[in-house]
Structure 1
């Protein structure tokens, strides 16, 4: 067995030389008199998987919404692909996968996946082909004409993932997308996500309160503490993939990190 990993901030991760695609600097956010974020700074590099980890109230989802352009901020800066967010025009490069699958019950699986393509200058046939291809990619090619109510929870999550991927994003934002799944299905979705990330080269920023999930998926973990939300530590994950929760090194890093999560 390898030596137990330490939780350290390091600069020698394999992706450390990749260009930065998201840069958050001294981010401040208020909701009325309540300060939600204070001086939050971190970056996300191209092709990297980064987790925003922390207890409830530390600003994880707020940060993700700001990165997606769904919320404003009161201080600091956000750059996307090297441009200030206010000047960034290529929002179609970002996709957002919500905690709920948000499938429309009156649309078939394929029609749900096509939803993100309907604002693009694509023919109906091209939309069908793109949707069917990505459904094959996530293992649901035989369910294109099914209805959401006919699917299991894991299958619905795959449809939601397909809907995010069909627009071919370079940045995928995910807000606890697997939190409602049972442990076995969640593990399957972790493997599926990483497989698709390797195939597409997408950059992923995801929110989780699950320490084990962060260790299994992420290249780096931004550990936040609450009231107001601020960065406690940025953690490199020095473990090769695939990572199983039962692997000794994965379990040890998870144990160490749990001790650092501020309730």
Structure 2
């Protein structure tokens, strides 16, 4: 579930100079002269600079215009894409072979397939899921990554919350699929997919009774499918 090593190196080749630039421009770390100087900062200082960068998105534009890192045009396109970042709290719901599934905490919930950098998410924050984390998601070529700065919340989830999160995940996956590229078009859910989702369990049938009724009035195929599924109950 990690980004290929060469791609990780490219990410830091661009992201670390961007942090240096943000530290200089915001006066949070005006003494920074090179990416190597970031090692002299505490994690809290780096996070403060990173947060200022996302708060002041004009820094992306001025960084690209001045290009202190001497990046190529193709590399600057990657940096430009980072203006479409997603920041906030996410729930890590699943570890899959090629990514971790991050569920947004705001409605409508969407599930993103996110690649780790040098260290897998499981190694960083543990295998016990679901887990609430705070981080920033960035587009990187055909992938979605986090910016390497991730913190977890000290929250325990009871069975009710776990069930609610799983329901939100299943609905997001049904509606939009697992999104693995910010540039890809989101999956459109068909009426049949919606009906299948609503009929999954007795609880969902009760919760979405009005939606089920409306769908079964839209076409004979949907009505037939409804009776077939109810006949299995």
Higher RCO, Cα 8 Å, sep 6+: 1
Settle same-fold status: TM greater than 0.5. Answer: no
Structure with greater proportional strand content: 1
Structure with greater proportional helix content: 2
Larger radius of gyration: 2
